[in-house]
Amino acid sequence: MITEHSRARNIVDGLVRSILPVILALIVAGFIMLAMGSNPLDFFAGVWTYGITGGNWQRSLVLMAPLVIVAVGLIVAFRGQLWNLGYNGQYLLGAVVASGVGPYLFAALPAWLATLIIFVGAILVGAVWSLIPAILKARYGTNEIITSLVMSFIAVGIVNLLIKGPFKDPNTPMPQTAVIPDDQLLPYIPGTEIHVGFVIAIVLALVAQFVLSRTSFGLRMDIFGASPKAARHVGINSTWMVILLFALSSGLIAFAGSIDVLGQYTYQRANWDPHYGDAVMPFVFLARLSPLAAIPLVAFYAILATGGTLAAQQAGLNVDFLLVIVGLILIFMTITEYVGERRRLGQSYLPPGLRRTLVRPFDGMRGRKSS
Amino acid sequence: MTPSTAPDVISLRDITKAFPGVVANDHISLDIVSGQVHCLLGENGAGKSTLISILAGMQQPDAGTISINGVPAAITSPKAAVDYGIGVVHQHSTLVPAFTVLENLMLGETGLMMQKKRAAERLDELSELLGAQIDPHALAADLGLGQQQQVEIAKAIWKGSRLLVLDEPTSMLTPQAIENLSESVARVKAQGLAVVFITHKLREAYAMGDCVTVLRGGRNVGHISVEELATYSEQQAQDAILRAMFGDDLKTVGAEDAAELAGATESTREIRSIDLATRPVRLELLGVSSHGHGRDVEVDDVALQVHEGEILGVAGIDGHGQGALAEVVAGQRSASSGTVRFDGKDVTRLGVRGRQQLGLRYVTDDRLHEGTVGSMSVALNLVIKRIGQRPFWRFGQIQNKAVDQEAARLIAEYDIRTPSPATRAGTLSGGNIQKILLARELTHGARLVVVNKPTYGLDLKTVQLVREILIDFASNGGSVLLLSTDLDELVELSHRIEVISRGRIVGSVTNDGPGTAEKVGHYMTGAIEGVQA
Ligand SMILES: Nc1ncnc2c1ncn2[C@@H]1O[C@H](COP(=O)(O)OP(=O)(O)OP(=O)(O)O)[C@@H](O)[C@H]1O
Ligand SMILES: [Mg+2]
């Protein structure tokens, strides 16, 4: 009975911890908008109008496709306590495989085969790109945050060089790749304008959820993440695990890039970087590294981003305001987490120092009144 | 800190703390007086560490108060505890593995500049006080468990404090270091500090303690005051403590066993003798040297044999290659040269999982971080070595029903005390975590088990239980490679004892009568090194 009760409490607790930071962030963002002289209600109404109503929900779902895949990629690495922060470079590498090599392949091969080769190629390029941080980590314990970031910068540079050089469309003066014609792009889900990449992304998230929570591989991963010592003890090859998880993570993120080009963008410009990983990161943590739980959270962000771009312009805000909201979510997530942890330990919600400083002025006031 | 005329008193009143499924502390009241060593005893899971973590500000009690000299003290955080002068050595390491010893010790410093030189001096001073040799620049992760413990003690008495709490400080120390520790405890006490000392060894409680409190099931079930303890003989004190500790359970054990529980009798061999000549060799190491990545001592050119039904002890001072030996047998560490044969088969190239399936098992000494995954359920921890195998996994998919059944079976068979199979393993008491390891390793076709320090930190009854489990396993034809730093344990359980020093086997003793301990001791001190006994 006790366990039943506490299980129910745990679920409620988890929900609160995932949703509360988002709500708080939206409220505070509202106040910031007020302070900047914009009407937050206009903004949120705009998000609703441009993100959901009419056919706009379809645009939101199209944005969800790469976001969900990037989220799954991050989850795979983070579950194993591997901090793959090279996602921007990995995404662009995958994208440039599609935008740069795609036009040649589509010219020579049937569309389905070209698409397949692009996907496999993108995943492989992403995976190979992660080998250096992975091997350094596995062999020498080098901090993968730094190495993966550095590799990401290099990747961004290479992608730009490729787009300005060999992959440049000779028919325009702009540094960009050739546009892939409509009939060679990913097909739409019948009756909509959402490309099938969305379906692929959702299926991927579901498969990942199953693998992580129900299979022996998922358990090995969790053991490895919880304690490398225990992993060695139960016979998990940690070198192999690091390399595999990094390759999976990076490969998936690159896959997201190629899907995005073939489904939505049709070409790639130099110096373009949507920074999906940065936006998705807090939601991955809010979802407690569960791919399934990440889906609704990513959906929320996709709507916010889709509707928010226009809404922000209308409310007289910079589009970068969206990143402010994401940042606020991160901050409130940390606070909620901290408070929850204190409460779990049976301690006060407020750290002792803060409580003292908060309570003392009131004590003083009371004293003054009575005197 | 100067001893004042009126002693400081820290009073705990009606401290209560409940966790899901257990009341860890149930209206515990006691007084801790400066200049006294207050011993806290009780079975595994009695609630000792919980009480300490409340005192250390790491947990808040559900009810109850703490006051110092009659003034209520709000110990709301570890920092508050330090401000009140309460220094704690926790049972489980709190060192930051990636930091050096010195950095770990200086973590609590508040000054802007890290005064390395002064810190190094203080460490020297403390090392001497503790009788330990600690390399200030070694990484904490590279130290053996025994040495880590010593650094922890240094950390707690880093700043002079009002109260020093030691949660089972001796369970990992060598007899020599225990001797030194008791000396430094005496000195700390003479400085006017109060000391709370948690131990499972009654001898230590009697030798070091001024008064004793016994916990059982979260309650204070017995207190022996300073005056009483002073009038008791060691025997009387032991009887009183055992009665409080185990209550009615003790009657079922009998007086003789009780004395043995207390470790009062001289240890003798308890295992039936076997004729090694007629028994096939189960495990054979031929000139094995190991190769790991850490800085701990590797084994060097080790040769040994374990027969069917035999318990082979390996004696030695902690950190002399026991870990490497255990790992190279279990397959966790590769052999750089030599051959490991199991049941006549060369398994040198086989990994952990291959050897585990052949029946070669390993109960590690690091039960908390290596042997179990604390954040996972007891049930999962019980099958963690059989990931992917039927019937727990089918087509790569976990079968929760089969896992739960197996867990229920092992929990019942090994009497693992847990609120439920779904409880996180890390919240169980030390003894019960050890039972998880034993249950997991000895089930399902175990033929040889390597056990490294199997009983450290366990309460008297559980120690006895673990030893019985190993004896039973051997009498049913299993083989045991027992690595231990506890000579009594080795003498009680082993047929033969090998002595390891600096990674090499330096002697071998057949355990066939009195005098074994002396012979082993001689090899250990190197007195008759190279001479065959
Ligand atoms: N964080 C926690 N969550 C849930 N249960 C806990 C937690 N900490 C302790 N317990 C439970 O409280 C009880 C008392 O544990 P405690 O660690 O205080 O025992 P102990 O006397 O120190 O035992 P040992 O001799 O093994 O160290 C045990 O049943 C334990 O499982
Ligand atoms: Mg304890």
Same-domain status, B216 and B168: yes
* Residue of chain A with shortest Cα separation from B365: A233
Same-domain status, B183 and B69: yes
- For residue range A221-237, what is the model confidence (pLDDT) as tens digits? 999 999 989 999 999 99
Task: Please check whether residue B49 lies inside any domain of the structure.
Answer: yes
- For residue range B317-356, what is the model confidence (pLDDT) as tens digits? 777 889 999 999 999 998 999 999 999 899 999 999 999 9
- For residue range A120-136, what is the model confidence (pLDDT) as tens digits? 999 999 999 999 999 99
Cross-chain Cβ contact B387/A237 below 8 Å: no
Helices (H), chain A: 2-35, 40-51, 56-79, 87-96, 102-108, 111-129, 131-140, 144-164, 197-214, 216-226, 228-233, 238-260, 276-286, 291-314, 321-344, 352-370
- For residue range B371-420, what is the model confidence (pLDDT) as tens digits? 999 999 999 999 999 998 888 998 888 999 999 999 999 999 988 989 99
* Residue of chain A with shortest Cα separation from B78: A352
Is residue B47 in contact with ligand 1, taking CB distance under 6 Å?
yes
Rounded CA-CA distance A227/B372 in Å is 9
- For residue range A267-286, what is the model confidence (pLDDT) as tens digits? 999 899 999 999 899 899 88
Provide the CATH number for the domain formed by A20-370 in this structure: 1.10.3470
Which of the residues B77, B372, B373 would you substitute to probe the A interface, choosing the one with the greatest number of A C-beta atoms within 10 Å? B373
Closest CA to A259 of A337, A335, A186: A186
* B382 CA to centre of ligand 2 in angstroms: 22
| Residue bearing the bigger pLDDT, A101 or B520 | A101
Same-domain status, B244 and B197: yes
Residue partners of B468: CB distance under 8 A and separation at least 6 = none
Task: Please check whether residue B407 lies inside any domain of the structure.
Answer: no
DSSP state of B295: S
Which tokens belong to A251?
A: 């490969």
DSSP 3-state assignment of B198? strand
Task: Output the pLDDT for position A123.
Answer: 97
Whether the pLDDT of residue B116 is over 50: the answer is yes
Rounded CA-CA distance A24/B295 in Å is 49
Banded model confidence at residue B3, pLDDT cuts 50, 70, 90: very low
Nearest CA to ligand 1 atom 24: B44
Which of the residues A212, A229, A358 would you substitute to probe the B interface, choosing the one with the greatest number of B C-beta atoms within 10 Å? A229
DSSP state of B97: T
Same-domain status, B170 and B233: yes
Torsion over CA: A27, A29, A30, A35 (sign): positive
* Residue of chain B with shortest Cα separation from A211: B397
Whether the pLDDT of residue B182 is over 70: the answer is yes
Task: Output the pLDDT for position B256.
Answer: 52
Task: Please say whether the beta carbons of B457 and B274 come within 8 A.
Answer: no
Domain that holds residue B474: 276-359+445-524
* B366 CA to centre of ligand 2 in angstroms: 15
Is residue B46 in contact with ligand 1, taking CB distance under 6 Å?
yes
- For residue range B230-262, what is the model confidence (pLDDT) as tens digits? 888 888 888 888 888 877 665 555 555 555 555
From chain A, pick out residues whose CB is under 8 angstroms from the CB of B356: 235
Whether the pLDDT of residue A153 is over 60: the answer is yes
Rounded CA-CA distance B53/B169 in Å is 15
Task: Please check whether residue B329 lies inside any domain of the structure.
Answer: yes
From chain B, pick out residues whose CB is under 8 angstroms from the CB of A338: none
Cross-chain Cβ contact A3/B20 below 8 Å: yes
Same-domain status, B450 and B497: yes
Whether the pLDDT of residue B530 is over 50: the answer is no
Whether the pLDDT of residue B529 is over 50: the answer is no
Domain ends where: B195, B229, B261?
B261
Annotate A337-365 with b (16+ C-beta within 10 A) or e (fewer): eebbebeeeebbeebbeeeeeeeeeeeee
* Preceding omega of B175 cis (within 30 degrees of 0): no
**Closest ligand by atom to B427 CA:** 1
Q: State how far the alpha carbon of A314 is from the alpha carbons of A38, A47, A52, in Å.
A: 10, 10, 16
Task: Output the pLDDT for position A5.
Answer: 60
Whether the pLDDT of residue B209 is over 70: the answer is yes
Task: Output the pLDDT for position A205.
Answer: 97
* B24 CA to centre of ligand 2 in angstroms: 11
Is residue B224 in contact with ligand 1, taking CB distance under 6 Å?
no
Which of the residues A137, A227, A242, A347 would you substitute to probe the B interface, choosing the one with the greatest number of B C-beta atoms within 10 Å? A227
Task: Output the pLDDT for position A313.
Answer: 84
Task: Output the pLDDT for position B97.
Answer: 77
For tokens 């003066």, what's the residue?
Answer: A173
Which of the residues A140, A221, A233 would you substitute to probe the B interface, choosing the one with the greatest number of B C-beta atoms within 10 Å? A233
Task: Please check whether residue B132 lies inside any domain of the structure.
Answer: no
Is residue B50 in contact with ligand 1, taking CB distance under 6 Å?
yes
* B434 CA to centre of ligand 1 in angstroms: 14
Task: Please check whether residue B194 lies inside any domain of the structure.
Answer: yes
Nearest CA to ligand 1 atom 7: B427
Same-domain status, B84 and B223: yes
From chain A, pick out residues whose CB is under 8 angstroms from the CB of B371: 230, 233
- Average pLDDT taken over every residue of chain B: 84
* Residue of chain A with shortest Cα separation from B395: A215
Task: Please say whether the beta carbons of A324 and A310 come within 8 A.
Answer: no
Task: Please check whether residue B305 lies inside any domain of the structure.
Answer: yes
- In chain B, how many domains are there? 2
Cross-chain Cβ contact A347/B77 below 8 Å: yes
Whether the pLDDT of residue A98 is over 70: the answer is yes
Same-domain status, B205 and B173: yes
Query: Mutate which of B427, B435, B436, B459 to test ligand 1's pocket (most atoms within 8 Å of Cβ)?
Result: B427
Q: What strands lie across the sheet with B163-167, from one edge to the other?
A: B86-89, B163-167, B194-198, B37-42, B211-216, B219-224
Task: Output the pLDDT for position A318.
Answer: 82
Cross-chain Cβ contact B76/A348 below 8 Å: yes
Query: What ipTM goes with this model?
Result: 0.80
Q: Out of A290-304, B77-91, B265-279, which region has the weakest mean confidence (pLDDT)?
A: B265-279
How many CA atoms lie within 13 Å of B330's alpha carbon, on the beta-carbon side? Answer: 26
Task: Output the pLDDT for position B113.
Answer: 55
Rounded CA-CA distance B301/B338 in Å is 7
**Which numbered atom of ligand 1 lies nearest the CA of B431?**
26
Task: Please check whether residue B419 lies inside any domain of the structure.
Answer: no
- For residue range A154-183, what is the model confidence (pLDDT) as tens digits? 999 999 999 998 998 888 888 999 889 888
Out of A219, A227, A234, closest to residue B352 by CB: A234
**Which numbered atom of ligand 1 lies nearest the CA of B48?**
21
Residues of chain B that touch chain A, judged by Cβ-Cβ distance less than 8 Å: 17, 20-21, 58-62, 74, 76-77, 79-80, 331-332, 351-353, 356, 362, 364, 366, 369-376, 380, 384-385, 387-388, 393, 396-398, 419-420, 422
Cross-chain Cβ contact B398/A216 below 8 Å: yes
Which tokens belong to A71?
A: 């989220």
Distance of residue A351 Cα from the nearest chain B Cα, in angstroms: 8
* B18 CA to centre of ligand 1 in angstroms: 10
Task: Please check whether residue B203 lies inside any domain of the structure.
Answer: yes
Which tokens belong to B20?
A: 């899901």
Task: Output the pLDDT for position B129.
Answer: 66
Q: What are phi and psi of A178, to 5 degrees?
A: -65, 145
Task: Please say whether the beta carbons of B214 and B229 come within 8 A.
Answer: no
* Residue of chain B with shortest Cα separation from A4: B20
Task: Output the pLDDT for position B247.
Answer: 72
- For residue range B123-153, what is the model confidence (pLDDT) as tens digits? 887 777 666 677 888 888 777 666 777 788 7
Overall pTM surpassing 0.80 (yes/no): yes
Distance of residue B373 Cα from the nearest chain A Cα, in angstroms: 7
From chain A, pick out residues whose CB is under 8 angstroms from the CB of B76: 347-348, 352
Same-domain status, B242 and B319: no
Q: Out of A353-367, B153-167, B222-236, B361-375, which region has the weakest mean confidence (pLDDT)?
A: A353-367
Residues of chain A that touch chain B, judged by Cβ-Cβ distance less than 8 Å: 2-3, 6, 214-217, 219-220, 222-223, 226-227, 229-230, 232-235, 237, 345-348, 351-352
Same-domain status, B52 and B76: yes
Same-domain status, B202 and B232: yes
Query: Mutate which of B16, B41, B48 to test ligand 1's pocket (most atoms within 8 Å of Cβ)?
Result: B48
- For residue range B27-38, what is the model confidence (pLDDT) as tens digits? 999 999 988 999
Whether the pLDDT of residue A369 is over 50: the answer is no
* B41 CA to centre of ligand 2 in angstroms: 10
| B65-87 average pLDDT score | 87
Task: Please say whether the beta carbons of A156 and A88 come within 8 A.
Answer: yes
Is residue B41 in contact with ligand 1, taking CB distance under 6 Å?
no
Same-domain status, B16 and B87: yes
Q: What CATH number is given to the structural domain containing B212?
A: 3.40.50.300
From chain B, pick out residues whose CB is under 8 angstroms from the CB of A80: none
Whether the pLDDT of residue B2 is over 50: the answer is no
Rounded CA-CA distance B387/B373 in Å is 14
- Average pLDDT taken over every residue of chain A: 87
| A51-76 average pLDDT score | 93
Beta-ladder partners of B6 = none
Is residue B418 in contact with ligand 1, taking CB distance under 6 Å?
no
Same-domain status, B240 and B280: no
Is residue B49 in contact with ligand 1, taking CB distance under 6 Å?
yes
